[in-house]
Amino acid sequence: MKIISVVGARPNFMKIAPFAKAISAHNSADPDRPIEHILVHTGQHYDVRMSEGFFHSLGIPDPDINLEIGSGSHAEQVGQTMIAFEKVILQEKPDWVVVVGDVNATLACSVAAKKLCVKVCHIEAGLRSGDMTMPEEVNRLVTDRLSDLLLTPDAISGHNLRAEGVSEEKIRFVGNIMIDTLEANRDKAAQLSMEDILRENLLLPEKETPAVDLSGDFALLTMHRPSNVDQKEVLEPILNFLTGEVAPRMPIIWPIHPRARKMLENFGLWEKAVACANLVLLHPIGYHEMLRLNMQASIMLTDSGGLQEECCVLGTPCLTLRWNTERPVTLKEHGGASVLVGNNVERIREEFHTALESDRMPQRPELWDGLTAARCVSWLVDSE
Ligand code: UD1
């Protein structure tokens, strides 16, 4: 069997790492039914810190093919990926194209494969925010509609697919593949020194940061969604809250996404962020570095789906800077560690104080057991 798997952007890398390892393990255990695996990187994320670094640190094999698509509007990224990926399929003639997550590469490669009558398998199928203004929701819906094998991370995702009329034999509940990566890397992350992480990743080493004390409370922050960073009216009040109310109380560690940085600069807010002494601006950091900080943080503020899931397993109180989530299993009402606060400062403030009073409560939703990738590979082999 020949499989092409696809990565495009940062959140894909932690999902493909265990999948590639599980294919190697299958090939050693069952040499009579070998899988030929071709890894394609669309190049949507291309900075060393957003992409290449993860290949090294997570032991992902070098991509066999890099489409080098880079930045652009949604249509540009999707269109150029489809054109380039179609050529790859015609040349390689795979039995399956495996896509993960919900980024533009996921959508583009599913459509290109399906139009050439190649079977599509979606890992992390069935997540739904119900919010069609979110580019990722469009990507999820189209990818799932086209997929022949839908591998779901939790029970709610399976219900979503059935409600949309996906036939039962296409749906398989495998668990959360991101948690395979978390479990495989937890010990290594725990050995890192937080002071070294800060020193090695400071965005502005020249900034006069007073020695930040990470032995007490600190907040960890990430933001990149267009709904939070692309409008000044939304971004400015959040920044004011962070610099005016959180930073005087505890250090804030902010590994800043290129989109967020660009927007702060465009809106004339960058100087304000830089001037805040207790706001520590970092480059985008590596997987182990983020995991280490997350293990220790008193609170996470984020709009990332992956971090919501990691907070759930680590028990870090998490304020999700969104009005909805495609990952309800991570919410407090489902036993998780996260609460939706949108981008309204009053709501963020209220939940910030509540979260600081809560204890860490690690949770493990069903099949978030570190063995998901092996289940993905076995379902693919069985579907042959
Ligand atoms: C993308 C994904 C999102 C995912 C996020 C994680 C889609 C629709 N969105 O959003 O689901 O959560 O990645 O990071 O696929 N840039 C760089 N260097 C890079 C990559 C991007 O500077 O290596 C800049 C680009 O110039 C662009 C901006 O960051 O202006 C945003 O990149 P883009 O790929 O459009 O989407 P993300 O916001 O990163």
Whole-angstrom Cα distance, residue 320 to residue 307?
9
* Residues 103 and 124 both lie in one domain: yes
* Residues 133 and 203 both lie in one domain: no
In a domain, 185, yes or no: no
Say yes or no: CB of residue 37 within 6 Å of ligand 1: no
Question: Can you tell me whether residue 292 is helix, strand or coil?
Answer: helix
In a domain, 362, yes or no: no
If you measure from the C-alpha of residue 71 to the centroid of ligand 1, how many angstroms do you get, rounded to a whole number? Answer: 7
In a domain, 338, yes or no: yes
pLDDT at 34: 97
Return the exposure string of 180-211: e unless at least 16 CB atoms fall within 10 Å of the residue's CB, then b. Answer: bbbbbbbeebeebebeebbeebebeeeeebee
Probe residue for ligand 1, chosen from 7, 45, 77, 78 as the CB with the greatest number of ligand atoms within 8 Å: 45
If you measure from the C-alpha of residue 58 to the centroid of ligand 1, how many angstroms do you get, rounded to a whole number? Answer: 20
* Residues 39 and 90 both lie in one domain: yes
In a domain, 182, yes or no: no
If you measure from the C-alpha of residue 216 to the centroid of ligand 1, how many angstroms do you get, rounded to a whole number? Answer: 33
**For ligand 1, what atom is nearest to the CA of residue 225?**
38
Say yes or no: CB of residue 259 within 6 Å of ligand 1: yes
Q: What is the DSSP letter of 277?
A: T
* Residues 140 and 236 both lie in one domain: no
Say yes or no: CB of residue 266 within 6 Å of ligand 1: no
If you measure from the C-alpha of residue 259 to the centroid of ligand 1, how many angstroms do you get, rounded to a whole number? Answer: 7
Beta strands in 15-126 (DSSP E): 36-41, 65-66, 96-100, 119-123
Question: Can you tell me whether residue 2 is helix, strand or coil?
Answer: strand
* Residues 25 and 47 both lie in one domain: yes
What CATH code is carried by the domain that includes residue 73?
3.40.50.2000
Domain that holds residue 89: 2-176+368-382
* Residues 123 and 244 both lie in one domain: no
In a domain, 157, yes or no: yes
Find the angle CA(99)-CA(57)-CA(278) to the nearest 5 degrees.
Answer: 105
> Ligand 1: which residue has its CA nearest to atom 18?
47
Say yes or no: CB of residue 47 within 6 Å of ligand 1: yes
In a domain, 361, yes or no: no
In a domain, 184, yes or no: no
* Residues 78 and 217 both lie in one domain: no
pLDDT at 211: 67
Q: Block means of pLDDT (10 residues each) for the chain, length 384 residues?
A: 98 98 98 97 96 97 98 98 98 98 98 98 98 97 98 98 98 98 98 95 79 88 97 98 97 97 98 94 97 97 97 97 97 94 96 92 96 98 90
* Residues 213 and 108 both lie in one domain: no
**For ligand 1, what atom is nearest to the CA of residue 72?**
35
* Residues 151 and 226 both lie in one domain: no
Number of domains in the chain: 2
Whole-angstrom Cα distance, residue 113 to residue 120?
7
Say yes or no: CB of residue 351 within 6 Å of ligand 1: no
* Residues 196 and 149 both lie in one domain: no
* Residues 106 and 205 both lie in one domain: no
Say yes or no: CB of residue 271 within 6 Å of ligand 1: no
Say yes or no: CB of residue 11 within 6 Å of ligand 1: yes
* Residues 54 and 163 both lie in one domain: yes
Whole-angstrom Cα distance, residue 307 to residue 316?
10
Residues assigned a catalytic role: 224
Probe residue for ligand 1, chosen from 80, 82, 103, 302 as the CB with the greatest number of ligand atoms within 8 Å: 103
In a domain, 363, yes or no: no
Contact 194, 214 (CB under 8 A): yes
